[in-house]
Structure 1
């Protein structure tokens, strides 16, 4: 019987910040360019996770 290696794709959310922009698209681009658009994993967990990255950003308008 053949053997298979199986990997789990792990997703989560990370708060990037609030940004002033003219529209959602601009806010998303500013967020991508910010210093917070990265993922860091603790030493213990990093042994189990390869290539952590932010796949997409969700943009919500802040209501005053």
Structure 2
């Protein structure tokens, strides 16, 4: 398991079984699963990148990532 980035999902090697607080069990047979940690996902407990819409921008981060030379 590894944290993708601050405020983002936790990436877990699959298959994965997640039991939510309400006792519902969710399964995924994918090779890697992004588990939501912010609870903004419409597909909770799976991440749908909803955290990106509300994540504060860092002052030193560029608006667009630069492409690496090929």
Asked if these proteins are the same fold (TM beyond 0.5), I'd say no
Q: Which has the higher strand share?
A: 2
Q: Which has the higher helix share?
A: 1
Higher relative contact order (CA 8 A, sep 6+): 1
Shorter-chain TM-score range: under 0.3
**TM-score, length-scaled by structure 2:** 0.25
**TM-score, length-scaled by structure 1:** 0.26
Bigger Rg over Cα: 1
